[in-house]
Amino acid sequence: MKKQKEVVVALDGSGNEKGNAAVVSAVNFALTMYPSLRLLIFGSSSLLDDLKRQNIDPKRYEFHLAQQTIPQDESPRAVIKGYPRAAMRYALEAVRDGEAQSAISGGGTGPLVALSRHILGTIGNYRPALAARIPVSTGKFALMLDLGANSAYKAQDLCDFACLGQAMARLSLNIEEPRIALLNIGIEEHKGPAILQEARSLIKADRSLYYVGFLEANRIFCGDADVIVTDGFTGNIALKAAEGVATLLGRGAGVKRFFARMARPEWLMPWQYNGSLLLGVNGTVVKSHNSAGNEAMAVAMVEAAKAALADFGSELASSLKKS
């Protein structure tokens, strides 16, 4: 049997609101699923205590104490200047220095994006974006981006997101010519704000992109497109609204609750798509929801391990530089 090459994931153990339990459980899950995985874990001494209590093989991970935690809403400037000993920073530096093939963090989106850009640098002139695989039917996925890496944006940024999404779809969905759509309030050409008209022109003009048109939000999960391009604000609103309904339908009381559990397509559950990738920086960075529970955190860890195994960051960078 061929021995699988070892891969290393750097884990920011400080960001999860649900505390150490979700982190420890995700660590356990990922190490079990990927025998060739090793972890660099950065966090508090209490996290180390909790890890030790789990009897995880000490050869599978290396723990480094990180004294600082970056608040979710810290300003980019303060993030870069003020936290030399933060777990998030250590994890990103491990990727930069080649000690890990990917980093995963449940820290704030703002701090993670700012610090990733600062430490890893961006690929060419691309504006980085957070992309997630979203389920479109059993075992099938589309990509959606940006999911919050940027607050302000221009039409050219949406065109960048289309390029980043195309490269990721080729790598992680194995689709050579992914269908690219722009999220909008109607499918007719004149619909929506001027910035979307302009973005459409830019994307259409780029012959390397296979643009299929505008997409309405009620069609996000229908598989009409492989890459759904939007801005960070709108992407957040759309996915959270969808998640809200999916969660509500999973509740109910009494017999309704039973029927709901039997009916619910597992592929649509929100925790299925935790773990978004920050595209456009030199290195692989996975963002987990900071409120992710055990299942969701494990999904994100697996995403980080898979990306590390595939050497996702370098592959993406070289594919973008070629085009």
Task: Choose between 65 and 241: whose C-beta lies nearer to a second copy.
Answer: 241
CB of 192 to a second copy, least distance (A): 7
- Asked if 220 is part of the footprint of a second copy (rule: CB under 8 A), the reply reads yes
Q: What does DSSP say about strands 276-279 and 129-137: parallel, antiparallel, or unpaired?
A: antiparallel
- Asked if 243 is part of the footprint of a second copy (rule: CB under 8 A), the reply reads yes
d(C-alpha 98, C-alpha 7), whole Å: 11
Interface with a second copy by CB under 8 A: which range of 45-53, 87-95, 235-243, 293-301? 235-243
CB of 50 to a second copy, least distance (A): 28
Residue 100's φ and ψ, nearest 5 degrees, are -135, 150
CB of 122 to a second copy, least distance (A): 22
CB of 257 to a second copy, least distance (A): 8
- Asked if 1 is part of the footprint of a second copy (rule: CB under 8 A), the reply reads no
Our CA dihedral for 74, 77, 78, 82, rounded to 10 degrees, sits at: 140
3-class DSSP state of 74: coil
- Asked if 263 is part of the footprint of a second copy (rule: CB under 8 A), the reply reads yes
Question: How far, in Å, are 14, 42, 88, 94 from residue 80 at the CA level?
Answer: 17, 18, 11, 16
- Asked if 64 is part of the footprint of a second copy (rule: CB under 8 A), the reply reads no
d(C-alpha 255, C-alpha 9), whole Å: 44
d(C-alpha 288, C-alpha 279), whole Å: 14
- Asked if 205 is part of the footprint of a second copy (rule: CB under 8 A), the reply reads no
The full DSSP string for 195-230 is HHHHHHHHHHH-TTSEEEEEE-GGGGGGTS-SEEE-
For a second copy, what does the binding mask look like between residues 70 and 109, x meaning CB under 8 A?
A: --xx------------------------------------
CB of 246 to a second copy, least distance (A): 5
Residues touching a second copy, count (CB under 8 A): 48
Question: How far, in Å, are 35, 276, 298, 307 from residue 149 at the CA level?
Answer: 32, 11, 22, 19
CB of 147 to a second copy, least distance (A): 10
Residues that bind a second copy (CB under 8 A): 72-73, 148, 151-152, 183, 185, 188, 190-193, 216-222, 232-234, 236-249, 252, 255-260, 262-265, 268
